[in-house]
Amino acid sequence: MTTEILFDHFHQLITRAEDIPRLNELILQLAVRGKLVPQDPADEPACELLKHIAAEKVRLVKEKKIRKSQKLPPIDADEIPFGLPSGWEWVRLPEIYHDCGQTKPNKQFTYIDVSSINNTIGVIGDDLQVIEPTNAPSRARKLVGKGTVIYSTVRPYLLNVAIVDREFDPPPIVSTAFAVMHPFEGVDKRFLFFYLRSKPFIEFVESQMTGMAYPAISDSKLAKGLFPLPPLAEQQRIVERVEQLLDQSRALEAELAAAEAERATLTQASLHHLTVAPNPAALSEQWQQLASIFDTLLTDPAAVADLKQAILQLAVQGRLVEQDPTDEPAGELLKRIAVEKKRLAETETFRKSKPLPQINKDKIPFDLPPGWEWTKIDQVCLESFYGPRFGKNEYVKNGIPTIRTTDMTINGEIVLKDPPQVKFSEEKLDNFRLKNNDLLITRTGSIGVMAIFRGDYLAIPSAYLIRFRFSSYLSIDFVYSYLKSPLGQEYMGLKTTKTTQPNINAQSIRNIPIPLPPLAEQQRIVERVEQLLALCDDLQAQLAAGETARVRLLESLLWQAGGRN
């Protein structure tokens, strides 16, 4: 693919706003390599331009407008990053510009600091300080004029580069954090500006930076930088083409961002229609409408994640499946669980928990279908405990595995990843071993991660997990789905903008209200949730595969267009 074909069709090739920086990078890279516009053999070559620059230097030194520059080392072949077209020349940066001197302010001045630069587009902002000399920062020393290019040598990867594009009243002084580059005649300031923002120069600077907190490139190292000098006429053609393409790129970026915003709005509206569907029949109709436009709306994995949350919310509100009036109501279920808990309370090994307050009827978030009951996790949970701690001498090679957060998957499964093993007495093992359908929740680190134990092997939870054991009269998968739903996550304190971590403990979990359906309906809900979430997983996998293929195709096209070394 030729460069012109790419740029004539990048509206079709670039389909995501996040691809625009890569496109802009390519534009500049092609520009500074001489691959963006055709060469004209009638142009005066750069070697002649260098003679004019040398004569200008002599004149300016004689007029005492600049200092005589130090002799620069010759360019070695291994320094040259890429070949140049005929008529171009490699030079060291100081050969094509001079500074404008320094001063200690003795009168009012306009101060340009690094923070004054809009580094997204590389311009000096309008909100500049006018400072009295008595208040001048110690870094306010360097002089500039209209047409000067300023380049921040502190954290240069942030690309705080700009052209002094206007006159200032009072005259400007810039920070010593800038390298001041005033191009000689015959060097287009805009071409220099674009080169300083191009990938080849960025890579050179990154190889020369020192420092950790505030990495910077010294003036001496910057002076070693190379500059590809084209004929002046070609510089101007390149700049004109770059500006044209960057204008198109910015327009495309705005267009794509607007389309993404519109798609996100439509997606949220569609999901809202799902969540307010009054009954399963209406929900089925809304689902069919959404499914018909999946390919249009759900192009972002985040939107699919939102759909998953909507499914879970509908499930726990009793609007995902039809109710069956013949199902035993949840009230009877709670009676049987209460009898089970009373029987267990009479055993010696039963761990008693603190009594918790009853549900405040005024704070119930929504009404339930017939046969459902609002209760608390505490009323359906038989027991809970924290995983035990172990000393160093208790870890062994062939012991009992301790399940950690890293063994718990995002889908609520447990996949052992070489967990630590401990020796454990039979007596203690009976108290701490995991049983089928135990629910594990992390209380530190990655707080709120959950998984259901379904293993046929001996295992115990680590100290950072809370184990909950529920009555067999309810579905543990329904409890898991509820705690993963938006409402469950809110009750756990996980859907918050606060910077502090939520305080998750056994008592706070047991105190969470839960809408309890009849057992038969719990099972129908779980089955339907699994079906729908599986569809979402498939869609996410397709999006991921499509994104990988899209990125590879785009990179291949960009490479073919000339982005390679």
Sign of the C-alpha dihedral computed for residues 313, 314, 318 and 321 taken in this order:
negative
Residues 6 or more apart whose Cβ sits within 8 Å of residue 277:
283, 285, 286, 314, 319
pLDDT tens track for 260-285: 888 888 878 877 777 777 777 777 77
pLDDT tens track for 348-364: 666 666 777 888 888 88
* C-alpha to C-alpha distance for 30 and 551, rounded to whole angstroms: 20
Closest CA to 328 of 521, 130, 86: 521
Find the DSSP H helices in 346-475. Answer: 377-380, 426-432
* C-alpha to C-alpha distance for 423 and 401, rounded to whole angstroms: 9
CB burial class (10 A; 0-12, 13-18, 19+) of residue 35? middle
- For the residues 319-335, what does the mean pLDDT come to? 93
- Is the omega angle on the peptide bond into residue 170 within 30 degrees of 0, that is, cis? yes
Per-residue three-class SS string for 247-268 = HHHHHHHHHHHHHHHHHHHHHH
Other Cβ atoms within 10 Å of 324 Cβ, number = 11
In words, the CATH class of domain 44-230 is alpha beta
Residues 6 or more apart whose Cβ sits within 8 Å of residue 163:
122, 123, 147, 148, 149, 150, 189, 190, 193
pLDDT tens track for 193-222: 999 999 999 999 999 999 988 899 999 999
pLDDT band at 398 (very low <50, low <70, confident <90, very high): confident
pLDDT band at 1 (very low <50, low <70, confident <90, very high): very low
pLDDT tens track for 134-168: 999 999 999 999 999 999 999 888 899 999 999 99
Q: Which amino acid would we find at residue 310? A: A
Bridge-partner residues for 172, per DSSP?
110
| H or E stretch covering 179 | strand 178-183
CATH of 330-517, one of 3.40.50.880, 3.40.50.920, 3.90.220.20, 3.30.70.1230: 3.90.220.20
The encoded tokens of residue 440 equal 């594990």
pLDDT of residue 200: 93
In the chain, what are the domain boundaries?
A: 44-230, 330-517
| H or E stretch covering 129 | strand 129-131
* C-alpha to C-alpha distance for 308 and 278, rounded to whole angstroms: 19
* C-alpha to C-alpha distance for 408 and 389, rounded to whole angstroms: 19
Measure Cα distances from 341 to 363, 489, 519 in Å. 26, 26, 18
* C-alpha to C-alpha distance for 496 and 133, rounded to whole angstroms: 49
Q: How far is CA 131 from the centre of its chain?
A: 39
- pLDDT, greater one: 447 or 42: 42
Helix (H, G, I), strand (E, B) or coil at 501: coil
- For the residues 417-443, what does the mean pLDDT come to? 89
DSSP 367-403: ---TT-EEEEHHHHEEEEEEPPP--GGGEESSSEEEE
Contact 529, 312 (CB under 8 A): yes
pLDDT of residue 2: 58
- The answer to whether residue 384 scores a pLDDT higher than 80 is yes
* C-alpha to C-alpha distance for 374 and 514, rounded to whole angstroms: 6
Bridge-partner residues for 376, per DSSP?
513
CB burial class (10 A; 0-12, 13-18, 19+) of residue 352? exposed
Sign of the C-alpha dihedral computed for residues 347, 351, 352 and 357 taken in this order:
negative
Helix (H, G, I), strand (E, B) or coil at 161: strand
* Identical fold, 44-230 and 330-517: yes
